[in-house]
Amino acid sequence: MRKGKIFLVGFGPGAEAHMSVRALQAIEEADVVVGYSTYIRLVKHLLDGKEVTRKGMTEEIDRCILAYEKAREGKTVALVSSGDIGVYGMAGPTYEVLLQSGWTPDSDIEVEVVPGSTALSACAALVGAPLTHDFCSISLSDLLTPWPVIAKRLEAAARSDFVVALYNPKSGRRTGQIVEAQRILLRHRKPDTPVAIVKSAYRDLQDIQMVRLDEMKDCKIGMLTTVLIGNSSTYLHEGLMITPRGYHNKYEGLTGATREGEKRGRSLSMGLEGWKTCVREYLDTHPGAPLQQAARYFDCRIGEVLAAIAGNGGAGGLAARMLPKATLLAAARDWRKLRLGVENGSGAQAEVMLQGGDLELSGDSLKLGNAHVRLRIDWPHVQSACLLRSEDRAGAYFLDAHGDTVFSLYLQDADDLPRFDQTWQALAGQDAMAATA
């Protein structure tokens, strides 16, 4: 018997001109073509003489099973999907069905995935160049994905300044998701952030709306729409939506001389190595500024600011030393009057006056308390610690795995500084093994 084969074909946004040669060959070679009815309609001119099976929207797994059954009969099957079949498409479910049925890649039935141009690149091409920098795609369909997962991804993408492509933004029944997405994005993006709403790209009913983020939810959006939301540097010019590649960070204009401090072909001065120097320069030029101010300026964690100070003999009159957390806690128990600072991550801050002896580790709990106050800190949550010394102040930060402050301790009494400096000297040399112990 002839060996069966399954082509998983992404045929691009719609028009044949945007179909790959391999996609055309795959459909040409197929005895059987299986697909959602809309997709079959888009390639119907290629289907003469073939066995064609149209399935409805909710019959995705049926399509996979059918493709496998036909392949087992020795037929060549093309399971077709618009865009890229691996992007919110049938490639994943088909492999899952096959693997659950005992199929393996070296079995008799060959599977070939034929990539296609996905909606986000097709839509981007129609509106300019909105994806020229980091971007991500998020589907707003909560048919198979819990909304809290989608909301978390929207929040992370918005906060991280990704250009965002929204697939499945709205349907007849799912109308609230785009409203909620706009609300989340506006927490981090300006209201006039450019948004492209592209319907039926490269199909007969193609339609494009260029709007602002705060107008998005009221626009005409449907099942065949992809929404592209710019990042903080995306702009509209002459009707085109452009996200800069970043040349302006290094050059005067696109082709001009390099900016001061930058070198052609080298990482930016704010690159992996250089950015810590920039943190130190910031602290040098803002003496006395709170560390939180520097962290906000660089949009980084306090832990990264402390590491920048510790890494190069200090900055802005501050010296820092990263240490194992247990070592630093043991040392702090010998200090006298302390100001403990804790934050809850939502802006609430508490300050409590303690003595070093009020810190007590009991199992996984660090208990901080006296007759007036009791606090408990989940000690495993603390990942690293850092001593910090300026000319007239001294203290310690205890940080979580992200480099956020779990709590800080500052000496209250200048008379205690010599005691602190003894700790500083005694712990010299332990820095290297600091981060996790």
Cα maximum dimension of the chain:
94
Q: Select the residue interacting with ligand SAM from 76, 177, 193, 200 (CB under 6 A).
A: 200
Does position 119 bind ligand SAM by CB under 6 A? Answer: yes
Site string for ligand SAM, 268-307 (x = CB under 6 A): ----------------------------------------
Tokens of residue 122, six digits: 């097709």
Does position 87 bind ligand SAM by CB under 6 A? Answer: yes
Q: Select the residue interacting with ligand SAM from 23, 79, 201, 283 (CB under 6 A).
A: 201
Residue 89 or 356: the one with the smaller Cβ distance to ligand SAM is 89
Torsion of the alpha carbons at 413, 417, 420 and 421, rounded to the nearest 10 = 180
Query: Residue holding tokens 């099942």?
Result: 223
Does position 94 bind ligand SAM by CB under 6 A? Answer: no
Residue 36 or 379: the one with the smaller Cβ distance to ligand SAM is 36
DSSP string of 193-212, one letter each residue: -EEEEEESTTSTT-EEEEEE
Of all helices (H) and strands (E), which one includes residue 181? helix 177-186
Residue 203 or 301: the one with the smaller Cβ distance to ligand SAM is 203
CB of 367 to ligand SAM, least distance (A): 53
Residue 13 or 194: the one with the smaller Cβ distance to ligand SAM is 13
Sorted by sequence, the CB contacts under 8 Å of residue 179 that are 6+ apart come out as 217
Q: What is the identity of the amino acid at 410?
A: Y
In 73-203, where do the E strands start and end? 76-81, 110-114, 128-129, 135-139, 163-167, 194-199
Site string for ligand SAM, 145-174 (x = CB under 6 A): ----------------------xx------
Does position 185 bind ligand SAM by CB under 6 A? Answer: no
- φ, ψ dihedrals at 86, nearest 5°: -90, -5
Among residue numbers 67 through 86, which ones bind ligand SAM (CB under 6 A)?
81-84
CB of 209 to ligand SAM, least distance (A): 12
Does position 121 bind ligand SAM by CB under 6 A? Answer: no
Are 279 and 403 in contact by the 8 Å Cβ rule? The answer is: no
Does position 216 bind ligand SAM by CB under 6 A? Answer: no
Rounded to whole angstroms, the Cα distance separating 430 from 437 reads 11
CB of 83 to ligand SAM, least distance (A): 2
- The count of residues interacting with ligand SAM (CB under 6 A) is 23
Sorted by sequence, the CB contacts under 8 Å of residue 233 that are 6+ apart come out as 133, 243, 244
Stretch that binds ligand SAM, among 55-63, 196-204, 259-267, 291-299 (CB under 6 A): 196-204
Rounded to whole angstroms, the Cα distance separating 4 from 81 reads 20
Does position 137 bind ligand SAM by CB under 6 A? Answer: no
Comparing CA positions, the residue from 79, 35, 42 lying closest to residue 57 is 35
Does position 251 bind ligand SAM by CB under 6 A? Answer: no
Q: Select the residue interacting with ligand SAM from 77, 123, 308, 331 (CB under 6 A).
A: 123
Rounded to whole angstroms, the Cα distance separating 259 from 252 reads 6
Comparing CA positions, the residue from 23, 34, 87, 82 lying closest to residue 60 is 34
CB of 387 to ligand SAM, least distance (A): 52
Rounded to whole angstroms, the Cα distance separating 353 from 413 reads 11
Residue 126 or 270: the one with the smaller Cβ distance to ligand SAM is 126
Among residue numbers 220 through 249, which ones bind ligand SAM (CB under 6 A)?
223-226
Residue 47 or 223: the one with the smaller Cβ distance to ligand SAM is 223
CB of 191 to ligand SAM, least distance (A): 23
Does position 60 bind ligand SAM by CB under 6 A? Answer: no
Does position 203 bind ligand SAM by CB under 6 A? Answer: yes
Are 32 and 77 in contact by the 8 Å Cβ rule? The answer is: yes
Rounded to whole angstroms, the Cα distance separating 179 from 176 reads 5
Are 373 and 355 in contact by the 8 Å Cβ rule? The answer is: no
**What does the binding site for ligand SAM look like in residue numbers (CB under 6 A)?**
13-14, 81-84, 87-89, 118-119, 123, 167-168, 198, 200-203, 223-226
